[in-house]
Structure 1
């Protein structure tokens, strides 16, 4: 197995997405008045730390990040809250952010540091809803298999902070949003459900998608979705007229860096896509078919080669096991590559946590499924039970990094010798 190379590619891709490398190149113009820093996401604390060091003037502010993802700042408060299901700490932080940007003038600047995970970290239930309702909505979305764009449009309907509402609260102050993108296609409005950016898609579309994915929503949420209450500001709203947005790190940039590293190690690299979506187990089948074609027929790419891809797959919960979307992808890949020589792979979440467990991902080669069976694990049964974590734990192939300080979604690398 090309374990050292695979891990090196992952770590190099993650290094290219570190906020400290990108923040200084995207500093907004200083204002006449105050500079207030706000933010949310799994990379927001590291973004705040980098911004604080780079900004030439006075600043104050607050960002909220996931438990365990803290970075020390001197002038910006760092608050931790729960992900992927929101908690009371996140609700308090969301209210503090809304209060922080209230009462500003047109001479003031709000800098919004936004990264993936912010949707869960900023629960702010609409009137008539409770935190428990928002938690239930999140659980329903996480179990639905819906892509991130669908999830964020629906979450947006039940919030008083998402979908550009935080920017509207800051008006008439100018809002400069800096984004570390974890969404396929890098639409900045989809990252963290766009607290400072208007999200495309209206209430009728949200209703259609909630029905399509058969979401089991709380009664209060169903009533709100059926109404025209709590509508977000539209893209043409004047509150967004003087604002700006920049994507400072993304999966595309990280994959390109990994490809260059692979070529330096004597391997050709093929970036399949930085925006792959779909069921993790199905996406794995396509990757496996391509890897087998290269391994056995030396096409469509000649060996040796590394296949790279990113994006955000989904998992429809069918069982009671443990693991995230990268683990599910890899378990399905291991089954499809059972007995194939010369192929090894790593997939991991670039924030260091795959789902809710303690691993970023895992390693796979043509012997993985056999070794699972020898350890008493039926790979097919584990996949049916969504228990990728247990299957890889049993053979010692979990990949653990801890929090990485950034988040540009999934990283997948398959080496074919």
Structure 2
């Protein structure tokens, strides 16, 4: 059976899911359905910028319905509730409005091939007070909540007339925590409750449970990033296991206490909660669906998974947009072959390097050179490479013409954030 007569359903419109839907639709696979709980797509590696004050229009918010009309796939707004592999059917939850009034009832959607691209979330690690008092940075709404708290704290300090710095604690020194710390320390733009010179300062503290700062990174990158953060005024504590998060402070196992008006919890990634409630597909203890090297579920060959919600057998692919994009490119080639009765080939992750945007503190990264050695980059080159990852995404999502236009616009306005919104 050809891929044009097969019903391909993709659940999750992040970097991987959206790129896969567009690639399949552009190839002529006309029965492509993309499901997402949100109406719009945002490039998630820039959520830390939203948290520091960038607006949605500055981080390339795009409406799924407009993209679906442009490329020829079908967009279905909804949240996954269950999967029935035997019937090849998924169930979507009912939807309500902001006042909790019912809008759309529960629905079912049949598939021939299902791709799960739901992304991941930050685990609370069972630490007391995290869910009540800390903010995470998993969705655009989370970033807006961080910005709102930041602005309210600025308002409180301005009204009270105090001149003490606002205390912010970020737990975790992965990419999310480090990039957010840098932007808050150098580029934070709370709502204008007072002239900038009259606002209180912002003191940022990074706390890491491991003895080593950024334990997943190489020594050279760790040193470069730490130096830039400390020069920007960020205080870094390692070997500090958090035991409790309160409304106004954070406590550690060894009795340390960090005052905090804003606590952000950035302690890695696990799969979404829905994984635990779907017992028809094999999963691991990190709430990820277990898939073979072909990205097929161990328990149902018609179900594929990519990105943070998938644990790929034998793969070292990290929980990044870059890895999800590579998997989407792979499946765009393999799913039509699978629908035609051929066996899909194994996915091979090709690590291209790691890039970090540190706001006014610059950018740091390491790129794979292709000659057996990595190339360390900093400054403008690293900043350009960092933006290049998003530009590649835009080339797929917007098409070569619009993507190139966006690139040229940024070259002529390098100091302004992107303002692309597709309707």
**TM-score over 0.5 for the pair:** no
Structure number with higher helix proportion: 1
